[in-house]
Amino acid sequence: MARMVALAFLIVMHKMSVSFTAVSVAVGCVLSFVTSFYLPAIETIAPAFSEDDDELIRNNASLNMVQQLATILGSALSGVLVLLKSALVSYGIILVIMVASCVMMLRIPSDSVSREETETDESMLDSLRQVVHLEVIRVLLPYATLINVSFWLYWYLTPMYLARRLPDFKAAYSIQEMTIGITAGVSGFLFSHVVRDASKHLHGYAQWLVLQGVGIAIFPLGAVFLTNQKVLLALLVVSWIVYGIANYMTGTIFVTIVQKKTEAKMLGVTYGVVFSLFGAIAPLSSVFSPAFSSIGPVGLLLLTLPMIVLPTVMMVDRRVNGLMRGV
């Protein structure tokens, strides 16, 4: 609802001929601030609707799938909206979508969610200290952070690299994004509706991370030895299909593990810390990406190594294995 109000404010200010750039920046900051609360809230929903571990991971899988599909549809819709001559009309359409979303969320029966009434006089600082000392955070977050740094550095270099290596395919980067989204959507449907005993897959977190890294490495590895653009484009698609499947699984498993290892009253703060850290990694990686702008296929391949080596280390890390056994 807060995002809806912010967007409505943007439309009104635009109609009043107030500086569109200044208002857009201000509203963008507000939307980012609201999103920092919205994402953790979304990830805390699944446990309230789950009766057992199997249903919990299926619910998380469904939420993950919906988010991926929303990303695809959002990208497609934005491509249409930018073609409209009036920015006011474009933002008006987005506002209508937000209103519809808000109405549907408000129609969810409040008594369908099981709540545990808790009273606490702890300060936010005390809560943050507790989050830092949670076993799941101490063990998994350092690995996840380093892997994310490696990924985002690789990701920000791909547009420039694809433009150089696949000049005949101007849409290569868009194909890459669509491949990830479609693969994740299909994976989500299969995992949440077809796979049996979904909870058994919780123990394969490190293995899925390894596969995720291997998937990313397929394209730069092929680029070291091949020059045919059609073959490289095919490898690009295969690379991101493998990544999309593995990334979908690692995302679902990570969220589920945090939910199972964290008290209900701490979930919101815990996810707030996690998403704030992950959210800061992307822009920080973009700052360093220009230093690698002239990188070749071998250098790009080397950037994928942390995404393979770190999960391999996780597979033999006793702390990680102990954490997984307790899930």
Burial 86-118 (b: 16+ CB within 10 A, else e): eeeebbeebbeebeeeeeeeeeeeeeeeeeeee
Q: How many domains does the chain have?
A: 2
135, part of any domain: yes
Token pair for residue 65?
A: 């799938």
DSSP label at residue 263: -
Cα separation, 272 vs 324, whole angstroms: 23
Per-residue pLDDT of 208-224, as tens digits, reads: 999 999 999 999 999 99
Per-residue pLDDT of 250-290, as tens digits, reads: 888 888 888 888 877 777 778 777 877 777 787 788 778 88
Q: Do 304 and 154 touch, CB atoms closer than 8 A?
A: yes
Q: Do 217 and 277 touch, CB atoms closer than 8 A?
A: no
User: Longest C-alpha distance within the chain, in Å?
Assistant: 64
Q: Average pLDDT of 5-16?
A: 65
Q: Quick one: residue 102, left, alpha or beta (phi over 0 = left, psi -120 to 50 = alpha)?
A: alpha
**134 and 169 in one domain?**
yes
**102 and 131 in one domain?**
no
- Range of 284's domain? 124-325
Per-residue pLDDT of 57-84, as tens digits, reads: 777 777 777 777 776 677 667 767 767 7
**79 and 226 in one domain?**
no
Q: Do 99 and 226 touch, CB atoms closer than 8 A?
A: no
- Identify the domain boundary among 47, 78, 110: 110
**61 and 10 in one domain?**
yes
Cα separation, 246 vs 190, whole angstroms: 13
Count of other CB atoms within 10 angstroms of residue 125: 8
